[in-house]
Structure 1
Amino acid sequence: MSMGYWLALAGLVIVVALAVYAGYLWRQVWQRQQQRARLDQERDQRLATDIRFIAESMANDQAPMIEGCIRIKVLLDNYHGPRRPELDVEVFELVYDATAHIPTHQAWKDLSRAERQLHQRHMDHLEQQYGARVALAVKQLSQGL
């Protein structure tokens, strides 16, 4: 057998080995994509359930309007699943943006009474301004995304 035959055979073995390895790597990529899609779908299902729960709580006056709007807005920002086109979710962003400057948690407790009252009046005004629109959006969300 000639040297050319052995070189051709070695080249063929290398090509086959590389093809098998490429197939193995492609299979890993495909499996990771499938797993990522499954995890994304599960996340969206959890978020949809949480959004619906908060909306139902707001509809039953078990959650404050401002807090509920903020929570729903944040959840909607992370939700990438399908939505009904007639849903009005813009109101949650409006309330969120209008309250972004208000301190929370310990910072709220550290405010003077006058400052807290000022923020509370602002929140009361927002509830009057957007209350009906939020109630409609909450009713829609209570039926699912």
Structure 2
Amino acid sequence: MSPALVWSLLALALLIIAGLAAYALWLWRRVWHQQRRQTAAEQRHHEQLGGDLRILAGSLLDEQLPLIEGAIRIKVLMDNYDPQLSQDPRCAVFHQLYAATAHVPTHGDWKALDRRERQRYRSQFSELELQHKAAVRAASRWLLNDALIKNISP
């Protein structure tokens, strides 16, 4: 092989390597950009859930939201917001009410119930509210005043 051919092949190989390196760098930059976007989206979602939890807890305390419905919604949001916070013993009442009402039909199934069945469920709701009202209010107050303030970032 002539030296000119060797140098030409070497130069071609270096160009190919440089091109592949540039392409790899471009791909990595896309990955890093996507990771930053995903992190920002997760942060926005977390902040939105925290805001929703504040609204629900405040609405429960102001009695603008039915106790059972509010407790269920708070439990579900907390599970998505911060599973560790959701497992805090001070939030156990939300889990208890969720479990106690899990069998109750919702939406169209609720509307399909006859009047007596709906009344039976409403009676159960009233009993649960009387039993757990103080605990739900205390847990909601704790969420607003302590937990959600300390848990602002993921």
Bigger proportion of residues as helix: 2
Change in CA separation of 1:26 and 1:81 when aligned onto 2, cut-off 3 Å: farther
Normalised TM-score (structure 1): 0.88
The CA deviation at 1:80 is 4.3
CA deviations over 1:62-93 (Å, ceiling 9, x no partner) = 1111000111122122214995x977223212
Flag structure 2 segments of 5+ consecutive residues without an equivalent. Answer: 149-154
Contact 1:87/1:137 (8 A) holds in 2? no
Contact 1:51/1:75 (8 A) holds in 2? yes
Matched with 1:131 is 133
Q: Specify which of 34, 37, 54 is matched with residue 35 of structure 1.
A: 37
Q: Specify which of 119, 122, 143 is matched with residue 120 of structure 1.
A: 122
Q: Does 1:47 align with 2:46?
A: no
The CA deviation at 1:24 is 0.5
Question: One-letter code of the match for 1:54?
Answer: L
Matched with 2:105 is 103
**CA distance, structure 1, for counterparts of residue 112 and residue 84 of structure 2:** 41
**CA distance, structure 2, for counterparts of residue 66 and residue 119 of structure 1:** 12
**CA distance, structure 2, for counterparts of residue 99 and residue 88 of structure 1:** 19
Change in CA separation of 1:82 and 1:103 when aligned onto 2, cut-off 3 Å: closer
CA deviations over 1:4-41 (Å, ceiling 9, x no partner) = 11111111111111111100000000001001111111
Aligned residues: 145
Identity %: 40
Change in CA separation of 1:110 and 1:81 when aligned onto 2, cut-off 3 Å: closer
Q: CA RMSD in A?
A: 2.3
**CA distance, structure 2, for counterparts of residue 133 and residue 140 of structure 1:** 10
Change in CA separation of 1:80 and 1:29 when aligned onto 2, cut-off 3 Å: farther
The CA deviation at 1:94 is 2.1
**CA distance, structure 2, for counterparts of residue 81 and residue 26 of structure 1:** 32
Normalised TM-score (structure 2): 0.83
- Residues 98-107 or 34-43, more deviating: 98-107
